A = this chain, B = another copy of it.
Amino acid sequence: MASTRKLSSPSDYAELLSRYDTWLFDCDGVVWSGDDAIAGASQAIDFLRASGKRVIFVTNNAARSRKLLKKKFDRLRIAASEDEIVSSAFAAAIYLKEVLQFPTDRKVFVMGMEGIEAELDAVNIKRCGGTQPGDNKFLPANDYSSLVSEEAMDSSVGAVVCGFDMNLNYGKLCKAFRYLTRDGAQGPVLAGETGGGCHFMLTNDDKVVPALGELWPGSGSLATPLIASTKRDPIIIGKPHAPMLDTVKKLYNIDEERSIFVGDNLHTDILFARDGNIDSLLVLTGVTKEEDCQAEGIWPSFIIESISNMIAAETGQKRIAAMCSVSTIHASL
């Protein structure tokens, strides 16, 4: 991988463009910031498409299905098809199906929301927990009786998949705990055998999550009670962990030499790409400032201010870039 290059002249950008066929994009801080599009991002994505490039969006968001995530792209006027969006919930479902060869007669207990459920359904993996009404209520104080009954537990559960869950509650934690600690839970998960093996997966390990201009406890924090009580380490799917990029590579038949990952976070994007042998492009529209590379000792292949620079430089319309950088394009939720 080349040492970091900062692009300036139109020919630098032209060279960058010609070098990669597949452009993988992180979302928050790159194409949008919270609920607003990054200025010029829409045009930059259109420009890449017009230049014959393949565009894929890679997000750790596991609360929403790809179908709902697509609606956000639509609202912000960023062209994306459902097939071009890889969420950590989708990658978790693919990982269960393809890598773990999860048996069709076993179920996943979901400690999460609609995003995980929809993606499991899409690959025909059975599930329980999640948004089901019986698992979204408070238990009477100090009363475990409803949790020890045989009926409360499903013996066919062969995986616990945790993600962001605004309806996290003690009953769900207890059920997940019991699935993960029952006899043989750390063993193999076999078709036709109930009980026994139980995988432990976490869609993404983000300890905090941004929303409405604030930070909030994220999936990586919400799963810690299970990690602490079971003493088990989950398989973590989302960036910067390898299963996410492995899934993307497999699904889209990625040529590592001709692909680049565009992100705003040195750890979850730039290191993630480097560990996966993919070149990286750091944009400064998110959490990282240029001087952070030196401070953290993490260097991307390239740095640009914003993905909007792509189009401005290429077309020579620097005026547009300057205008766009003044403010982000507001879009209502």
Partner-B contacts on A (CB < 8 A): 63-64, 113-114, 136, 138-145, 147-148, 165-170, 173-174, 177-178, 181, 207-208, 211-218, 220-222, 224-229
Q: Which residue of B is nearest A217, CB measured?
A: B229
| A213 CA / B178 CA spacing, docked (Å) | 13
| A220 CA / B227 CA spacing, docked (Å) | 11
Contact of A142 among B145, B166, B227 (CB under 8 A): B166
User: What distance in Å separates the Cβ of A153 from its nearest Cβ neighbour in chain B?
Assistant: 11
User: What distance in Å separates the Cβ of A226 from its nearest Cβ neighbour in chain B?
Assistant: 7
Contact of A145 among B139, B212, B216 (CB under 8 A): B212
Contact of A228 among B174, B177, B213, B221 (CB under 8 A): B221
| A218 CA / B173 CA spacing, docked (Å) | 10
Of A173, A181, A218, A228, which is in contact with the most chain B CB atoms at under 10 Å from its CB?
A228
| A226 CA / B217 CA spacing, docked (Å) | 7
Q: Please classify the interface of chain A as helix (H, G, I), strand (E, B), loop, or mixed, using the class held by over half of its residues.
A: mixed
B212 and A177 contact, CB distance less than 8 A: no
11 pairs, A vs B, C-beta closer than 8 Å: A64-B142, A138-B167, A138-B169, A140-B166, A142-B166, A148-B213, A168-B170, A168-B173, A177-B217, A178-B214, A218-B229
Residues from chain B with Cβ under 8 Å of A227 in the complex: 224
| A238 CA / B78 CA spacing, docked (Å) | 53
Contact of A216 among B174, B207, B212, B220 (CB under 8 A): B174
Give the top 3 A-B pairs by smallest Cβ distance, nearest first: A224-B224, A221-B225, A217-B229
Residues from chain B with Cβ under 8 Å of A64 in the complex: 142
Contact of A225 among B138, B213, B225 (CB under 8 A): B225
Given A167-B170, A212-B148, A214-B148: A207 touches B221 (CB 8 Å cut-off): no
Given A138-B136, A168-B169, A214-B144: A225 touches B222 (CB 8 Å cut-off): yes
Residues from chain B with Cβ under 8 Å of A167 in the complex: 138-139, 141, 169-170
Residues from chain B with Cβ under 8 Å of A142 in the complex: 63-64, 113, 166, 211
